[in-house]
Amino acid sequence: MHRAGKEGTVTRRGFLGATLAAAAASAFPCGVEAGVKVGERPESLTLLDLARKPVVLPDAYRDQVVVVHFWATWCPYCQEEMEALEALFAQYRGRRFVPVSVNVGETRPTIDGALRDRRVSYPVLLDAESAAAKLYGVTGIPTTFILDRGGTVRFKVLGKVEEKSLRRMVEGLL
């Protein structure tokens, strides 16, 4: 079960959500949240895509609803979410919508191996040094940000998110 928290932050109830919350609380006592918050526009950051071409996030997707999904190959929830993002991309492609999966801290051969048998037609970016994860304040994998057409974060999802929930959030911004 997902619930909307303060300022559009969505958390997953249970162990994963509690673990992420505990990690964030211990890292930032006094309730200070690091990284990009709901209602803010992330700073621009250049990452490489799978073809090794530079992509400025989020500027490259100006005037589009963007889902920025931080993932890792070892994360089963991330794989499920990538399937959901692929389905949403196919459905909303003509409506100025794009998901972007940002791999955090893994090598290119590891990423290639994980994507070999998976259909991903939307952009996948490489964050080998975890610069984007640090900028966005990612404290666990998966973490997902949904930006409106103006580039402002409207939702932040900590932990696993179901396709149905993603669809509702995205549809509300299209």
57-110 confidence digits (pLDDT tens): 999 999 999 999 999 999 999 999 999 999 999 999 899 999 999 999 999 999
Per-domain residue ranges for the chain? 2-171
18-66 confidence digits (pLDDT tens): 334 434 433 444 445 579 999 999 999 999 999 999 999 999 999 999 9
147 neighbors 60 (Cβ within 8 angstroms): no
Note the pLDDT of residue 101.
98
132 exposure class (CB count in 10 Å sphere: 0-12, 13-18, 19+): buried
For helices 163-171 and 76-92, give the axis angle rounded to 10 degrees: 40
Tokens of 20: 């992420």
0.85 surpassed by pTM = no
CATH 3.40.605.10 fits 2-171, yes or no: no
Alpha carbons 2 and 169: distance in angstroms, whole number? 12
